[in-house]
Structure 1
Amino acid sequence: MLFNLFVSAGVRDLLVRLFARRGVREVLVFLFVLLAAVPQFVITTRSGNRLHDMLPFAPAVLWPWTAAANIAVGQLNWVNAAALGGWTLAAYVFGRIQFERGLRFDSQEVSARGSATPLPRASWAEALYRLPGRVFGDPLGALIEKELRVLSRSARFRLVFLMGFSFGLLIWLPVTFGPSGRGDGWFARNYLALLSVYALILLSDVLFWNVFGFDRSAAQMYFISPVPLAIVFRAKNITAVLVIVVEVTLIALICAALRFPVHPQKLAEAYAVAVTLALYLMSAGNMSSAYNPRPVNPAKSFRSSTARQTQALLLLLLPVGLVPILLAYAARYAFGGELAFAAVLAIDFAFGLVAFRIATESAIEAAGARKESIITVLGGGEGPISG
């Protein structure tokens, strides 16, 4: 009991200091998420025996839990007592050191120091940021560049972006291909599209459902500047599509590096499925952003960026958005050819464009009519630019 108490106190103070540092908290959360998926990975790949052989081991009695269990059942001897006492002493020293460091730690000072001295951007990153301005021109290109910069500095976005091309692989690839790595089922034949859809769903909270969330009170500039609100929505949606394309590309590159089959046809299919699904999600997201905006602190890695009522509604709409994609795969199964799949997916894309245009026009009208309430709601959140 004392061992657990000392360790938990020390770990808590250590995590408080680490999570206050910019860039470290995303890495820690990312590692915690990956660790949560390790048991499933070990079970599905049947690599437990190999993992046991690879890991160094010590006699079981030297572990504190084994020593405590032996003492609890009456096996009190000097080996168990020394093992448990040594671990308890080490836990006390660890907890005391971390507690003393926690007393001297100022999280606000660390956050301010990190914000006041931003890391210099690499030249290649600046070139990528400025590329939309050369392709689309101003003001659309400038708005896309702004969106890319905001997303890249958001801890929330960085976390889900990393999870999209890593956590999905760790979860779905072992299930799809099994211990032998040679799956031949439907999931194995379409795993690239499956991973892309999974990553898209993860990114939807930061890219689709609440497009004004990261702007917070700065969103008032969209309503008083001469730039039409339609261009603002267009810039945010184009940015979302660019992020999706990059995410799918990273998934394909990692799969190729792991020597999973990445055929050009399946890669093109993954891009087409992801972009088609994104049209339907952006249609619902633009409407949601106009009627239910919510301020979001980009420095917070946790918490959803949408209201609970909106989350419940979007949870119901998500299966509806997947129906057109499922129809395309049903056509491939029914007619047994790629032509049927491509034709149905093209029809889905066309209907998605129509739905996207209608929904976006409605969202623009609603945002213009509700601009006072939108600005009021977005200005009420926490963060450096909240009202």
Structure 2
Amino acid sequence: MLTRNVLLLTGSIAIIGANSLVLSPVAASVAKSFVGIDAANVMTASAIYGLSTAVSALTLASTADRIGAERALLYALLVLSVALMGAASSPTLIVLCAAQALAGLAAGVALPAIYTLAAQIAEKGRESETLGVVLTGWTLSLVAGVSLSAVLADIVHWRAVFSLLAAASVGLAVAIGGSRNWGTAARADMPTSPFTALRVPGIVPVLLNVAAYMTAFYGLYSYLGPHLGVALRLPATFAGVAICAYGVGFGVAAPLGRLVDRYGTLTAATAAFAGLTLTYLGLAASAGHVFILMLCCVAWGVANHIGLNLLVRRLTQLDPQQRGAIMGLYSAITYFCVFVGALAYRPIFEQLGFAACALLSAACVVPALIGSFRRSSPDIVHKQL
């Protein structure tokens, strides 16, 4: 399953994910390079990146349906490399923000193209397994992006972090441009866009599940660090350990994709969303117990990986001719939920604490659980008959 192209897609997600995560651990170092700027100001560039990615996913991702997902990914990685070099050489915060805006435009095209190619090159009956491997790129970006970037910034300089990412992006672009066997793309009979994608039968309920799923994750994830540092008064190291625990769980779940292929997506969806609901309840119950909370973070990563796998696979199957536009909608919703989750959960965290946030996340997942159970029940009855 670890073919050259699968590894290239995994690496592409890792580079994009690393850039989206890297500013947080190096923000203090970046601030020292700019006069009159603090770490909070630096994170403005991260917010601009997220907004730019959402806009790009809505407006540009559908180009993959016309020119081919592999070409769209190639061009996006080249643009990303330019943006990352711009970030590495930024003389002011404004230039850094502009570079991250350009990086967001590239990411909004690249991510839908990656998911499209993952579905395109997967062997019949091994779709979830292939997608599971590709999704481990997020684990690489999460673990390496959070930990190694801070170390590199301390040992060398924060500019070296972006320079290294830029070089990796160029290398991936060259490798993707020289690679073949990307499968057969289903060309659209007419121009595609987010509006044509929204008319695909069955897409709206899935996108609503994506919105609830991502809000549940990003809302709670945003306040995991503050909970450990403020409420439990633990050193910052514990926040890094919790994030790594989540990343490890997300990564070790990759082989479970073959079980989804074996037992079917409906059965897997019911089990995954039930497990995720229980995990959020576990996070709420263990909010005051650090060791148990860390274990729950591992389970959180496992459940989130499987749930994400199922949602992405379902979307890529709805209309192969509009995969670019459909996955553009997915990416736009995802990055919008980064903003919504952090904003909506803040008053709950401040007034009621982390446990209440975890309970809200569990409630967000329940509709997806009920929907998957209803769809799987007739199938189970049919098999028994």
Query: What TM-score, normalized to structure 2?
Result: 0.31
Structure having greater relative contact order (Cα 8 Å, sep ≥ 6): 2
Q: Which structure features the higher share of helix residues? A: 2
State the structure with more CA Rg.
1
Report the TM-score when normalising by structure 1: 0.31
